Structure 1
Amino acid sequence: MVRVKHILLVAIIFYSFLSCKNETSTETKAQVPSVFNADESGKEVADVLKEQELSVSALKKKLVREGYEVFDYVDPKTKDTILMQQYFMAFLKEGPIRNQNEEEAVLLQEEHLAHLSKMYDLGYADISGPLDGDSAIKGVTIYNVPTLKIADSLAHTDPMVKAGRLIIELHPWWAAKSFRLR
């Protein structure tokens, strides 16, 4: 029985790896135009780069209209225009009220995770997770909102924060748009 479970687990991991690899390959082709040759429709390199620049420009205008802080620069190595956006990094730190019984703590954790899920669904948070170890910082959430005031308001609606089990420390943080974690 253990051997069957092991084989099944290996098959699932292998299938997941293959499906992720295919998905990434497709996404990469769609997002990164070939700048070394004319593409299938006969566009020259300059045309492809001009289209890419317009999309960065359009995104920048949209973000500025929505109140986000942004700037762009040209990467000296790739000559690509990189659009930077200000995000807000919330450090979830150990709060002063940690005397909840086990049942209350479990309920708060469930509500905390539901809150984070809602933040993702609404597009307000991009990434979140706990930290390992005995640090006073228990986790991090990156808010994708225009202002520190909005990020602070959203972070303070977290049930763990409302209960005093966690406190929030917010910092502006800059990251390039459309870059993925590596």
Structure 2
Amino acid sequence: MKQRVLFLLVILMAGLNSMAQDNKKQPDPTEQIRQYWFVMLLAGPSRNQDSATAANIQKGHLDNINRLYYEGKIKVAGPFGDRGNWLGIFIFDCETRQEVESLLKTDPAISSGRLTYDIRPWWTAPTGSFTPGKPK
């Protein structure tokens, strides 16, 4: 008899817990979305450096990306592989467009004219924080 009562209590508790979970308010996805800055890196007007100079500029470009990543300013960076006019992207986590522009000016590939850029505000949920609601 005690085992049956205990079993029924366990079943009852599991059912109440399940109902409590169902009644929790689902997070509003729009409350989790925030603004970042999408930067399209484009071929710049000065791409005729000799190979040693170009390699030095590229090394500085990569060093700058690493610095900005470890400072928490760049969330994503990477090149495109098709050799088109779109050469790469950055996703910046900054307060303002002016802050992004000032950080871009620290990039040797941009300051040398090998790269230019187009900045756009871009909204998304931070990785791992987006919890979609139940389908309706």
Same fold by TM-score greater than 0.5: yes
**Corresponding residue for residue 60 of structure 2:** 111
Which runs of 4 or more aligned residues in structure 1 lie more than 2 Å from their structure 2 counterparts after TM superposition?
Answer: 44-47, 79-82, 177-180
Q: Is 1:147 paired with 2:93?
A: no
2:76 and 2:96 mapped to 1: Cα distance?
A: 17
2:127 and 2:54 mapped to 1: Cα distance?
A: 37
Q: CA deviation at 1:46?
A: 7.7
Q: Please tell me the residue identity of whatever aligns with 1:100.
A: Q
**Corresponding residue for residue 67 of structure 1:** none
| Structure 1 residue matching 2:33: 3-state secondary structure | strand
**Corresponding residue for residue 45 of structure 1:** 21
Q: CA deviation at 1:124?
A: 0.2
Greater gyration radius: 2
| Structure 2 residue matching 1:99: 3-state secondary structure | coil
Alignment partner of 2:115 out of 166, 172, 178 = 166
Q: Report which structure shows greater RCO (CA 8 Å, sep ≥6).
A: 2
Q: Please tell me the residue identity of whatever aligns with 1:45.
A: Q
Q: CA deviation at 1:176?
A: 1.0
Unaligned runs of 5+ in 1: 1-35, 39-43, 51-78
Unaligned runs of 5+ in 2: 1-14, 130-136
Q: Is 1:80 paired with 2:56?
A: no
1:132 and 1:112 mapped to 2: Cα distance?
A: 17
